[in-house]
Amino acid sequence: MAKAARESREELRERAKRVVALLKREYPRATTALHYSTAHELLVATVLAAQCTDKKVNEVTEGLFKKYRSPQDFAAARKATLEREIRPTGFFRNKAKSIIELSKDIAEKHGGAVPDTLEDLVELRGVGRKTANVVLAAVFGRPGIIVDTHMIRLATRLGFTAKQDPVKIEFELMDIISRKDWGPFSFTITLHGREICKAQRPLCHICVVEKCCPSSLLRKKT
């Protein structure tokens, strides 16, 4: 964890506040890049996005969402057929199973309506906290911190966490990021991770949060 020496919790929260403000200014319309028209479609798309690019998922769901128009449609899908249709996204067997099961849960337990709380969403088979928080933040406008690979990398570089477990990272960030900013912060982090703070070669020289980033400061000293 790259962290300024003897940084107090309050100092950490103040620095986090500056980072959030800078990223929101840089990406004022940040949201998920996945295409969807309903909460259920976003759930399905997010499941498909695991270990797959958003671009490829959007290519697959363009036709998929024309064929399956509701949770009931997905719940009634033949697993072998759905596997073939989502094969380009990878891990298609597990993804097809999750999509059919979460759709059955929504249809049978929630009358076809996607629940709008974290507690109910993670009760759906195949839905974890990351997927639930994507839907909460993007569809329902509810607070939710989305811990994807970009968040893990950037939160570490920014000195916000030393953890590697996504749930532990989520709870650490919940403590230092203002609740109202959980969703916006998550979406800006994903965009920033893709465009600037890349895994191999971060573009620190054009990074809007460079002066707030201990990792960037350390690079300059070495």
DSSP label at 181?
G
Tell me if 161 sits within 8 A of 169, measured CB to CB: yes
Burial of 20 (0-12, 13-18, 19+ CB in 10 A): buried
Catalytic position from the list 148, 165, 168, 198: 148
Residues 6+ away with beta carbon under 8 Å from 123: 105, 115
By three-state DSSP, how is residue 155 classified? helix
Q: Tell me if residue 73 is catalytic.
A: no
Q: Is 181 a catalytic residue?
A: no
Catalytic residue, candidates 130, 180, 198, 221? 130
Tokens of residue 164, six digits: 């590697």
Q: Annotated active-site positions, please? A: 130, 148
